[in-house]
Structure 1
Amino acid sequence: MTAAPVTDSRLGILFMLSGMTLFTWNDALGKWLVADHPVAMLIAVRSLFGLAVLMPLILREGVANVFAVRRLPLHVLRVVVMTVDVACFYWAVGYLPLADVMTIYMSAPLIVTALSVLVLREAVGWRRWVAVLVGFVGVVIVLNPTGRFDLWPSLVALAGAFIFSCGVISTRMLRSASSLTLVGNQMVGGILIGGVALPFSWSLPGWADFLLLGLLGVSALAGHAMMNRSLQLSPAAVVVPFQYVSILWAVALDLVVWGTAPTARMGLGALLIIGSGLFIVYREQRLKRGVAGEGVPEVP
């Protein structure tokens, strides 16, 4: 009776590690390509390839069933903010080390916690608020406002983390929609938004770069699929901490590909952000179990 959960947890961890590895390599590929191609092209072409991969599933379910959605304004808002988030990330990594941008983006769980109070009216107790504040201290350390501070790229990365968090909140509000609908809308939105911006920043890619641009979409879809499968197999508290392996990958890729070594401030900031995020995950799981001490309901 106990062997199955253990096996599932191990598989869940493996899927999460694989998914986050794909995401990080995808981000590194985006950093490589954005040096020669506009952000709009990365978004449009990766979305085009992603939609091509999804098309058999969409046809099987029926185009009308997949895209005929309720709460259309909220779906549109989600597509816009998630696309802008991707644009912010790719723009920021064009100027900053990959590990720095990913560390700033790891503040998203902290921002989601704060937004859940304002938007979803969820209760957040003092412990999680303290974790949010500690995490933002880590963000400030990574931004390094008193030292060498790349102002605009850092602020764009922070804005991207905030926009991504808004996308997470909107996804929670649309949790009754199917995953295929959410992903399909995202791909179509990326094609439309990136396509509108392309005439103002067109850069004709060669065949090799075009295929690499397509690989962005395919690897992102595969990463999402692995992460979703991980959460299906194992409790979030077990697998979510393994998301932070992406920072280790980012540091390694920065060092090997771009020759950029991590700084002490980035390491300290990352520890504070990761520690705060893990504590929030731990508290949320305890609250879901609804048990504290001698059966007294736990304070959020």
Structure 2
Amino acid sequence: MTVSTHTAGPPMSRTLQGIVCVVAGMVLFVGQDLLMKGMLTIYPVWMLIFVRSVVALLTLLPLVLWLGAPHRISTPLWPWYLARAVLFAGGFAMFYAAFPFMGLAEVTTLFFAAPLMTATLAAVFLQEKIGIHRILALLVGFLGVVIAVNPTGGSFGWVSILPVMTALTYAISQTIVRKIGEQDTSLVIGLYTISLSGVVIIPIGFAVTQMIEITPELIHLRMTWPVPSFDGLGMLALLGAIGTVAYTLVSRAYQIANASVIAPFDYSYLPLAALLGYLVWGEVPHFTTFVGMVLIVSSGMYTAYRELRIEREANDNPPTAQTVFTPGAPAVILVDALDAEAADPEQEVPSRE
């Protein structure tokens, strides 16, 4: 009698798993922003950011409490996290405020100036050394931003500045993370930042509505929040859930694979945004947007390569929150803690039964 045996194929390498996770995360982030753009026709920006923060809080807080040390709820760094929350809330309010006026690819291309700005701010304010190669890469990237903004074009206006301002606020918040170092885990940093963002977005929205006239074209900036229907509640919950899963996938990618391999795949967001923007709304980015996109991506990937190579040589890898630059993502790290205890065999691992 012959017994047939089934031999499983070789397991997927950790590098390939990381690539799959980050690309899947980028797909979900594009989906999140597509959903956000569609829901702006019904709900104001402030309400969507608030709801997304509540959903993330309901996920992150139990996780921090469950995992325990080294994650902590009480932290003396909360003033820094409050500053980051203001930057995130105000910055991404500007990001989403531009959605009704610009194509998804155009908005996100300008946002991806954030890694370039972070490198520049770190060099100026934190005295991080950058060589001639990265200086040239930064100049190329900023040239890409100028071309993408297209200030000489007839369509240039105040809206074109909003994604650039978002990139600047995001870069400042990332510089804060570098300044405070690793005194708290990335999970705690994410918990405080996104939770407080949901709180501070309310006074920010109120202040904006007092300073500008809410015309029909700016209806997505109104402060009146409609009561969602049952289906609307489902869509709002889906918005927060998609973002949370996407954060998890991207965080997992940086946890299991080398960051120098994973980082370039963050830029897969841009062609995905351009493609889905075309398929869903028929958006065709201007030629200058494509040129700027190529320059920004090339500069960002080269800058990341130089930074990661130097950090590998120094054996001082940065926290994941410093390496993930994704539109709409406050660098929340959900899974970096799940395997952290394994690095210290003496530390007691909490039960997960």
Both structures adopt the same fold (TM-score exceeding 0.5): yes
**Offset at residue 197 of structure 1 (A):** 5.2
**Offset at residue 167 of structure 1 (A):** 1.4
Aligned letter for 2:117?
I
Whole-angstrom CA distance in 2 between matches of 1:17 and 1:88: 26
CA 66–196 in structure 1, closer or farther in 2 if over 3 Å, else same: farther
Q: Give CA deviations for 1:153-177 in whole Å, capped at 9, x if unaligned.
A: 1111100010011111122234321
CA 282–26 in structure 1, closer or farther in 2 if over 3 Å, else same: same
Q: Does 1:176 align with 2:199?
A: no
Aligned letter for 1:179?
S
1:281 to 270, 283, 304: 304
2:20 to 14, 23, 39: 14
Question: Equivalent residue for 1:226?
Answer: 249
After the TM superposition, which residues 1-300 of structure 1 pair with which residues of structure 2 at under 5 Å, given as runs? 7-61=13-67, 66-174=72-180, 175-196=182-203, 201-204=223-226, 205-290=228-313
Whole-angstrom CA distance in 1 between matches of 2:203 and 2:79: 20
Question: Equivalent residue for 2:350?
Answer: none
Q: Give CA deviations for 1:14-68 in whole Å, capped at 9, x if unaligned.
A: 11101111111111111111222211101111111111222432442569x7331
Overall identity of the aligned pairs, in %: 31
Q: How many residues align?
A: 287
Q: Is contact 1:134-1:272 (8 Å) kept?
A: yes
Deviates more, 1:205-214 or 1:72-81: 205-214
**Offset at residue 191 of structure 1 (A):** 2.5
Aligned letter for 1:152?
W
Gaps of 5+ in 1: 292-300
Q: Is contact 1:26-1:219 (8 Å) kept?
A: yes
**Offset at residue 6 of structure 1 (A):** 7.8
Deviates more, 1:102-111 or 1:256-265: 256-265
**Offset at residue 180 of structure 1 (A):** 2.7
Q: Is contact 1:143-1:149 (8 Å) kept?
A: no
Q: TM-score, normalised by structure 2?
A: 0.76
**What SS does structure 2 have at the residue aligned with 1:158?**
helix
Max Rg structure:
2
**Offset at residue 289 of structure 1 (A):** 4.2
Q: Which has the higher contact order (CA 8 A, sep 6+)?
A: 1
Whole-angstrom CA distance in 2 between matches of 1:196 and 1:33: 21
Q: Is contact 1:41-1:198 (8 Å) kept?
A: no
CA 255–286 in structure 1, closer or farther in 2 if over 3 Å, else same: same
Q: Is contact 1:131-1:280 (8 Å) kept?
A: yes
Whole-angstrom CA distance in 1 between matches of 2:61 and 2:257: 29
Normalized per residue, which structure has more helix?
Answer: 1
Q: Which runs of 4+ in 1 moved over 6 A?
A: none
**Offset at residue 183 of structure 1 (A):** 2.0
Question: Equivalent residue for 1:298?
Answer: none
Q: Is contact 1:128-1:280 (8 Å) kept?
A: yes
Instruction: Give the alignment's Cα RMSD to 1 decimal.
Output: 2.2
